[in-house]
C-alpha cells in the first residue's frame, strides 16, 4: 500500500508586510523624540547661562538633536528600503539615550550634570527606548526580507 503525501505548503507570515507599519511607528517615535528635545530646550534650556559648566550641551545639543531626529524620521519614511537608515537612526537614538543617562550620573556629559529624573527626562527615556525597540524590529525585518535594491552603475 502506498501513501500519498500532500504537497508541502509553506505556512507562515510574510515579514515583508510588516516593514512599512514598523517603519512608520519607528519614524514617528524618532520624530517625537526630536520634538520633545525641542520643546524642553524652548521651555527649560534655551536661556541657560552660557557660563554654566557644559551649558552648550543643552543650549546647542537639544536643537541639534531635534533637527537630526526629524531628518532621520523623514529619511526612514522616504528611504524605506535603505538598510543603513534604521541603523543610523538606532545609533543616533542610542547615543541620545546614553547622553541622557550620563547627564544624570556622577560623570556627566561634557561638563553638564543634572540631578534626579524630571518627568520630561523620564518621558524622553521612554520614547528613546521605544524608538530603539521599533528600530530593532525594522532592522530585523529588513534582514529577513528581500535584499535591498541596488542601482546599476
Tell whether 7 is covered by a domain.
no
Q: Is residue 76 part of a domain?
A: yes
CB atoms within 10 A of CB 148: 11
Query: Percent of the chain beyond pLDDT 70?
Result: 84
Paired residues of 112 in beta bridges: 109
- Report if residue 56 sits inside a domain: yes
pLDDT over 90 percentage in the chain: 39
Is 74 part of any domain? yes
Determine whether 43 is exposed, middle or buried from the number of CB atoms within 10 Å of its CB (0-12, 13-18, 19+).
Answer: exposed
Looking at the structure of the chain, the number of domains it has is 1
**96 lies in some domain:** yes
Which of 133, 131, 139, 134 lies closest to 69 in space, CA to CA?
Answer: 131
Instruction: Assess if residue 10 is contained within a domain.
Output: no
What range does the domain containing 118 cover?
17-144
Q: DSSP class of residue 128?
A: H
Q: Specify the pTM.
A: 0.78
Which cell goes with 110? 561634557
Q: What are phi and psi of 109, to 5 degrees?
A: -135, 115
> pLDDT of 49-100, one tens digit each?
877 777 777 778 888 999 999 999 999 999 877 888 999 999 999 999 999 8
Q: Is residue 82 part of a domain?
A: yes
Cβ atoms of 63 and 54 closer than 8 Å:
no
pLDDT tens per residue, range 100-132:
898 888 887 787 778 888 888 899 999 999 999
Q: Does 152 map to a domain?
A: no
Is the confidence at residue 26, as pLDDT, over 60?
Answer: yes
Q: Is the pLDDT of residue 5 over 70?
A: no
**pLDDT confidence of residue 15:** 63
Amino acid at each position: 500500500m502506498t501513501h500519498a503525501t500532500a504537497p508541502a505548503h509553506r505556512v507562515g507570515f510574510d515579514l515583508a508586510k510588516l516593514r512599512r507599519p514598523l517603519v512608520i511607528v519607528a519614524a514617528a517615535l524618532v520624530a517625537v523624540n526630536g520634538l520633545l528635545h525641542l520643546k524642553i530646550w524652548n521651555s527649560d534650556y534655551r536661556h541657560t547661562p552660557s557660563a554654566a559648566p557644559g551649558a552648550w550641551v543643552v543650549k546647542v545639543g537639544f536643537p541639534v538633536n531635534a533637527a537630526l531626529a526629524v531628518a532621520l524620521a523623514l529619511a526612514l519614511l522616504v528611504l524605506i528600503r535603505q538598510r543603513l537608515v534604521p541603523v543610523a537612526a538606532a545609533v543616533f537614538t542610542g547615543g541620545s539615550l546614553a547622553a541622557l543617562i550620563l547627564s544624570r550620573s556622577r560623570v556627566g556629559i561634557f561638563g553638564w550634570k543634572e540631578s534626579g529624573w524630571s518627568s520630561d527626562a523620564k518621558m524622553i527615556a521612554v520614547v528613546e527606548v521605544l524608538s530603539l525597540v521599533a528600530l530593532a524590529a525594522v532592522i530585523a525585518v529588513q534582514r529577513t526580507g528581500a535584499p535591498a535594491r541596488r542601482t546599476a552603475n
